[in-house]
């Protein structure tokens, strides 16, 4: 059996106030093509299908379009909800979708009720663990101490293993949207935290006895064990992800259990780049021409803030989306000068010291000094005439 593991589509997401709708649609079309070309039997989507618990009409229509396209390949589709999703909204049409071969699992109590798909070696049981927020589910199982992600997901996995034991140890796949220990280094700016202080991360051994665990939530691909993996998001969602590949896992189950696991790349519609230098350097460096059509984060190292940098950068880098100011030299001037000493300075000297203080030690230019002289003279003239 061939299984395509994907997650974190985040339909409806914006990237620094820019819509990702067209880019994501093209990537999901490429994912459908992978399913068709590799003759995938089952597609699993491990949570965060939408970016919002109140998705727009356009986002809902896009999900319908992609699910219908996946079903047209002949693959069974299994979807679970993540921490961004509203279980009620995502699962609203689950009963109808199930009849067409699309299984949307959003109810916490359904975690130990599998979707069973047969191949020539027998059944494979797919268990969907919808995102388990302890505060919202503990009333369902009051006898359990479901205090955090680790205990909630561990409880669900124990129930799944108990169900599997009654099925004579058949092959199994678990979909879970959670934070598993060992994935810390792959965390990205675009992820919404679902743990507190690190004590509630799910340990990898919690997935013992499961043939394959298809995880969601971390936006970069991650292999925690041969049978425990994150696929990451199909689209870059923050600049912290710019060097991480986009794609999905193609998982093959054989008669004995887990066979081959292969990474399949997805296209990147617009690459991300971080460029660093003074504003003049970024605007003139010929080597940066390759980034002119990329999403750009510009890190400015000018000692003082240049005028209108974003507008000037976007003349060359039309998709410059983020601007950081990190001066190459920081003036360690401490607090402004002592008031008693300031009283001994001319007005021009006071303003020059102020400019040096706020501009990392860089005082007024000759042109600025002339302007200050002119302003002081005008003010002095006004005072004399009163």
Q: Which two tokens stand for residue 279?
A: 């504003």
Tell me the backbone φ, ψ of residue 30, rounded to 5 degrees. -65, -35
Q: Are residues 62 and 110 in the same domain?
A: yes
Angle (CA) 134 135 136, round 5°: 90
Q: Which two tokens stand for residue 305?
A: 């803030």
Q: Are residues 209 and 300 in the same domain?
A: no
Q: In what order do the strands lie in the sheet with 122-129?
A: 115-119, 122-129, 171-177, 212-216, 228-230, 222-225
Sign of CA dihedral 360, 363, 365, 368: positive
* pLDDT tens, position by position, 211-264: 999 999 999 999 999 999 999 999 999 999 999 999 999 999 999 999 999 999
Q: Are residues 317 and 347 in the same domain?
A: no
Q: Are residues 186 and 301 in the same domain?
A: no
Number of domains observed in the structure of the chain: 3
Q: Are residues 200 and 317 in the same domain?
A: no
CATH number of the structural domain spanning residue 216: 3.60.21.10
Q: Say if 84 falls within a structural domain.
A: yes
pLDDT in tens, the chain (386 residues): 999 999 999 999 999 999 999 999 999 999 999 999 999 999 999 999 999 999 999 999 999 999 999 999 999 999 999 999 999 999 888 889 998 999 999 999 999 999 999 999 999 999 999 998 888 888 888 888 888 888 999 999 999 999 999 988 789 999 999 999 887 544 455 555 554 444 478 999 999 999 999 999 999 999 999 999 999 999 999 999 999 999 999 999 999 999 999 999 999 999 999 999 999 999 999 999 999 999 999 999 998 888 899 999 999 999 999 999 988 766 555 555 667 776 777 887 777 777 776 666 667 787 877 887 878 777 776 654 55
Q: Say if 332 falls within a structural domain.
A: no
Sign of CA dihedral 127, 130, 133, 136: negative
Q: Are residues 317 and 345 in the same domain?
A: no
Q: Are residues 185 and 237 in the same domain?
A: yes
Furthest CA-CA distance within the chain? 101
Q: Are residues 373 and 316 in the same domain?
A: no
pTM: 0.82
Angle (CA) 330 311 318, round 5°: 115
Q: Say if 331 falls within a structural domain.
A: no
* pLDDT tens, position by position, 303-346: 888 889 999 999 999 999 999 998 876 655 555 566 777 677 78
Q: Say if 334 falls within a structural domain.
A: no
């Amino acid at each position: 059996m061939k299984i395509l593991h994907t997650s974190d589509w985040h339909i409806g997401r914006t990237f620094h106030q820019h819509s990702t709708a067209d880019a994501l649609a093209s990537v999901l079309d490429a994912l459908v093509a992978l399913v068709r070309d590799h003759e995938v039997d089952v597609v699993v989507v491990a949570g965060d299908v939408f970016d919002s618990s109140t998705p727009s009409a356009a986002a809902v229509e896009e999900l319908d379009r992609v699910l219908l396209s996946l079903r047209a390949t002949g693959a069974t589709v299994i979807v679970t909800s993540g921490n961004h999703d509203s279980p009620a909204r995502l699962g609203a049409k689950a009963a109808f979708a199930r009849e067409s071969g699309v299984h949307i699992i959003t109810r916490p109590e359904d975690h130990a009720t599998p979707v069973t798909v047969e191949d020539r070696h027998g059944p494979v049981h797919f268990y969907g663990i919808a995102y388990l927020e302890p505060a919202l589910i503990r009333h369902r199982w009051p006898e359990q101490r479901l205090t955090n992600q680790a205990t909630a997901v561990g409880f669900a996995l124990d129930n799944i293993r108990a169900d599997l034991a009654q099925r004579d140890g058949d092959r199994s796949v678990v979909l879970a949207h959670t934070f598993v220990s060992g994935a810390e280094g792959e965390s990205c700016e675009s992820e919404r935290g679902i743990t507190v202080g690190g004590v509630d991360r799910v340990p990898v051994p919690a997935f013992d006895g499961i043939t394959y665990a298809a995880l969601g939530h971390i936006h970069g691909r991650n292999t925690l064990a041969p049978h425990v993996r994150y696929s990451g998001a199909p689209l870059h969602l923050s600049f912290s992800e710019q060097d991480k590949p986009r794609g999905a896992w193609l998982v093959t189950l054989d008669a004995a259990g887990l066979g081959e696991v292969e990474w399949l790349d997805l296209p990147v519609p617009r690459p991300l780049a971080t460029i660093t230098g003074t504003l003049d350097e970024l605007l003139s460096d010929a080597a940066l021409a390759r980034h002119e059509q990329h999403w750009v984060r510009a890190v400015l190292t000018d000692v003082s803030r240049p005028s209108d940098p974003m507008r000037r950068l976007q003349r060359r880098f039309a998709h410059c989306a983020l601007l950081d100011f990190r001066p190459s030299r920081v003036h360690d001037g401490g607090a402004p000068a002592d008031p008693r000493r300031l009283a001994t300075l001319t007005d021009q000297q006071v303003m020059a010291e102020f400019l040096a203080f706020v501009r990392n030690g860089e005082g007024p230019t000759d042109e600025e000094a002339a302007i200050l002289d002119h302003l002081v003279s005008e003010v002095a003239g006004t005072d004399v005439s009163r």
